Amino acid sequence: MEIQEIYCPQTMDKCNYIKHHSGLDIYVCEMNGFSTTEALFGTKYGSINTMFKTKDDKEYTTVPEGIAHFLEHKLFENEDCDAFELYAKTGANANAYTSFDRTCYLYGCSENYLESLKILLGFVQSPYFTQETVDKEQGIIGQEIKMTNDNPAWKVLFNMLSCLYHKHPVQIDIAGTVESIAKIDADLLYKCYNTFYNLHNMVLVLAGNVKTNDVLKVADELLKPCENIELETVFPEEPYEIVKNEIHEHLPVGMPMFNIGIKCRPLTGYERLKADLECYIAGSVISDASAPLYKKLIDEELVNSNFGFEVFEGDGFFTLIFSGESKDPKKVTSYLIDEIERVKAEGLDKELYESIKRSTYGNIIMDSNNVEAVASNLISAFMSGVEPYDNIKIISEMTYEDVQKALLERFDTKNLALSVIE
């Protein structure tokens, strides 16, 4: 079992990578001088992974929406106790989350990191489901779903995604629906667990006050070797065109909220990360507080300081989102479309491009001195199928021409939808 050092020439940061004999990928970043530790144990299993098969399956299995999130909730309980009770004894602060493309179990601590690591590897590898506990959890998660349905920020996003995507499951709430989780039983949970929690589909990341050899001793002791089942996940074929241009919903808000989404062709791996960073710079130049669009919107009292931009991408989806609050979201959309078309024709402001590129690069460098951010970046790289420091490489080599090209290719204003919560 070889320890491979991964080095970043731009920052001189480094981490260790181990392909463990159990099948698990392990990344350890020893950060000398830091007193805290952050650990994540994750699987490539999120809300969008509802169709899958292994090498032993002839047909694809389709499971109810929300089952990845449901499974995350249930794994913290075993036959004897709750994992949080065990963490309380080591002093670690533990949590977990399910997103569109991953489920991660994590803890942060300032001492006893190896004892906490044993808890983490122990409970995630020891599922315990009964129909009685599943029935109880359906009620709890059902209430959670109803609460998010009353959350304007959550609804404005998913309403927008429903306008953009015909079939891709990214448009479905991560927790599923009350109807979909009612179809979940203990047998189905075990099937999904045995498929997606195979160590060949998982990663362990530690950063901070850690030693690689000590981590590997615990891994050797507790990881249960398993066969590579050659997992395949698929999505329904998704057309490039959007479903519809606009959606409105009424909820209690002081000012109408909006998401303006532009649907792009999906990418994978390094190309996706490159497009993400290029589009982020382009969209940030367009929406920056010193840019002409923002000044115009502020002068006409159409937005406030909440106006912003983000790139939202993953397996089979890639979306550009401008968001904020406005008394007239349609007018904001019209001005945004005009501004995108203008900078396509005339070019982005080069001075502002340089400023935003430098600040983005600076933020990434600052993250390298934050234990939690280092661990998060390592696991995100694994989930995206790229190397740990590829984001730094891409942005350090990025040119104005790269960003202008991404603007022309991916900011398609004919593939745009407006979602409003009134």
Catalogue the active-site residues.
72
- Residue in 143, 132, 144 with CA at minimum distance from that of residue 186: 132
- Tokens 């390592």 map to which residue? 378
State how beta strands 246-249 and 51-53 pair.
Answer: unpaired
Q: DSSP letters along 20-87, please?
A: -TTS-EEEEEE-TT---EEEEEEES--TT--EEE-TT-SS-EE--TTHHHHHHHHHTB-SS-BHHHHH
Cβ within 8 Å of residue 113, ≥6 positions away: 37, 39, 92, 206, 208, 209, 210
**Alpha-carbon torsion (56, 62, 68, 73), positive or negative:** negative
Structure tokens at 18: 């181990």
Query: What is the C-alpha to C-alpha distance for residues 410 and 403, in angstroms, rounded to an integer?
Result: 10
Beta bridge partners of 309: 322
Angle at 140 between CA 134 and CA 141, to 5 degrees: 85
